[in-house]
Structure 1
Amino acid sequence: MSLIGDILPLSHIVLDLEVSSKKRLFEQAGLLLENEAGLARADVFDCLFSREKLGTTGLGQGVAIPHGRHASVKKAVGAFIRTLEPVAFDAPDGKPVSLVFVLLVPENATGDHLEVLSKLAGKFSVKTVREALLAAQTAEEVHRILVEE
């Protein structure tokens, strides 16, 4: 399996989520990771929101990688969410976001955290990857796109 594949089970992929704001997106990410990874939804929300206050995790081109470190996270965990309608994210290009990869890592993680972020940023920088993710019909398709080297 790949680095991304190790932290992104199919159950952590949500397509066409209806949310109206970054805050609602973080709430839904918290709910997803509470149900699927056993993390407290408040911890997920607080972690993502606190990191976002330091500066946007929007990359541009309709993509964001909200991420953070938290003591309750025992190993890196990811979730991919495609929103039904793009959400304002304060991205550098000013464009709203509809492709979101949430990444949470243990408090003491450094190298793995940066490696996953780098791999994701590289993948999302490719226009054909973004287009494929927007067109994907199933979680399996999304998973394949994100894990293929």
Structure 2
Amino acid sequence: MNLITPLITPDTTLLDVSFTSKKKLFEHAAELFARTHALKAPDIFTSLFERERLGSTALGHGIAIPHGRIKGLKDASGAFYRLKTPLEFDAPDNQPVSLCFILLVPQDANERHLQILGELAQLFGDDAMRAKMLAAAAPHDLIALLGAWTS
């Protein structure tokens, strides 16, 4: 079992959604996490937005991993977004982002945070896996695909 699969559910796996900006994506994610984890949406949005201001969380190849630390969050949590219309994310390769994994971790989750980010980078670095994620028909298909992946 990998560290990624337990972080998402069918409710936090959104396929073929569209946003007009990173800001709109972060606003949507903040509302989603607020609903699913009884957190405050403004706190989530601020954490994601402030981290992004430090430097782009885009990795290249159409991938981004926005992440933030959240006071009051008990354990790491994620949301997977497959974007219908790729978004500009200031990626190192100047390619827009179409696959986005938003990661929230507790305020003091240093080691686990880094382990999850490392695993996400490995996952998204796999060309064949990216193609499969882009082709998944439904959220449960994508979750099963991630569940079968090993680093």
Give the TM-score normalised by structure 2.
0.94
> Amino acid of the residue matched to residue 109 of structure 2?
A
SS at 2:49's partner residue? helix
> Amino acid of the residue matched to residue 125 of structure 1?
G
Aligned position for 1:83: 83
Aligned-partner Cα distance in 2 for 1:84–1:11: 18
Aligned position for 1:123: 123
In structure 1, runs of 5+ residues without a counterpart are none
**Percent same amino acid among aligned pairs?**
44
What does the per-residue CA deviation read over 1:54-110, in whole Å, with 9 as the maximum and x for residues that have no partner?
110000000000001121322111100111100000010000001000001011101
In structure 2, runs of 5+ residues without a counterpart are none
Aligned position for 1:42: 42
Aligned-pair distance for 1:35? 1.7
SS at 2:95's partner residue? coil
Matched pairs, number: 149
Alignment of 1:12-31 (within 5 A): 12-31=12-31
Aligned position for 2:56: 56
Aligned-partner Cα distance in 1 for 2:140–2:88: 27
> Amino acid of the residue matched to residue 5 of structure 2?
G
Cα RMSD (Å): 1.1
Aligned-pair distance for 1:147? 2.4
